[in-house]
A = this chain, B = another copy of it.
Amino acid sequence: MIENQSICLAYETVEKADHSLPLLTPMSEVAGRMSVQEGARFLEKSQGGKGVLLGGVPGVRPAKVLILGGGIAGENAAQVAAGMGADVIVADINLARLRYLSETLPKNVKTLCASELRIKKELSDVDLVIGSVLIPGDKAPHLITRDMLQIMEPGTVLVDVAIDQGGCFETSHPTTHSDPIFVVDGIVHYAVANIPGAVPYTSTLALTNATLPYIIALATKGWQKACKADPALALGLNIVEGKVTYQAVAEVFDLAYEPVEL
């Protein structure tokens, strides 16, 4: 791309003033909602799980779902898990975010200020863990380590929504829709790298809803005017006429960084 003098914009660095990433949000929404659907499926006995129904039935306890990370994906996972009748906990370290979630999510969602100790305490009777924590521009932290698998009951299901950033479980490695799971120490791991690919109808619409306004701006104004008019879009510029214009990318590849303003 450097050689052929392309103008390259990266979806993941388009960033608004409030630090939201408008071109990643739609896939986080889809992945968050899908993660619970997939988790419910692999909780079925024939799939290797505990044989627990997410919502239980009247008189029988519902499944306990622990969602690590209350961002876009975690919020959407919580909506679906709660909607299916599970007993849901969303853990995050951002208290302001937990307050908002507690104001807007259904009443069968509890919020938890996350720490290693508290996560461990929840694992002994959990049925499904959704890992949706990521640190922007860095590898996802390992919130569930290998030794913590011992705390859980066999047949517990882990779904790693952060597998694209390395995964938030130590024992995760990427899988595919055709072979989605593997088992470590009796714990079922689901770590499909492209979860939204399972529902392309919904995902394509969701993604194009988000990208189209930027495409139109680029097509009608040209990249220079479009990026000048919209600082979020300008942050998406990674390579311009042979030069790396996004500092983190330059550093990773040990290339010279040149601010786009120049």
Contact = CB atoms under 8 A, between A and B. Distances in A.
A206 B178 CA distance: 33
B202 A53 contact: yes
A198 B84 contact: no
B84 A107 contact: no
Contacts of A106: 107
A137 interface: no
A129 to B, nearest CB: 17
A95 B46 contact: no
Given A29-B57, A93-B213, A209-B60, A198 B111 contact: no
A58 B79 CA distance: 13
Contacts of A142: none
A197 B197 CA distance: 29
Contact of A95 (B50, B87, B102, B209): B209
A84 B87 CA distance: 15
A255 interface: no
Contact of A37 (B25, B40, B50, B199): B40
A19 interface: no
Nearest to A98: B58
Contacts of A40: 37
The range of chain A's interface size is 35 or more
A138 interface: no
Contacts of A47: 198
> What copy number does this chain have within its complex?
6
Given A62-B110, A82-B83, A53 B199 contact: yes
B58 A111 contact: yes
Given A45-B198, A50-B201, A60-B202, 15 more contacts: A22-B95, A33-B53, A33-B55, A33-B84, A44-B198, A45-B199, A45-B201, A52-B201, A56-B202, A59-B113, A60-B205, A60-B209, A79-B85, A80-B84, A87-B110
Interface of A: 20, 22, 25-26, 29-30, 33-34, 37, 40-41, 43-47, 50-62, 76, 79-80, 82-85, 87, 93, 95-96, 98-99, 101-104, 106-108, 110-113, 177-178, 197-203, 205-206, 209-210, 213
17 contacts: A22-B96, A25-B99, A29-B57, A37-B37, A45-B201, A51-B199, A51-B202, A51-B203, A52-B202, A53-B199, A56-B202, A58-B111, A59-B112, A59-B209, A62-B110, A107-B107, A113-B205
A-B pairs with the 5 shortest C-beta distances? A83-B83, A59-B113, A53-B202, A113-B209, A107-B108
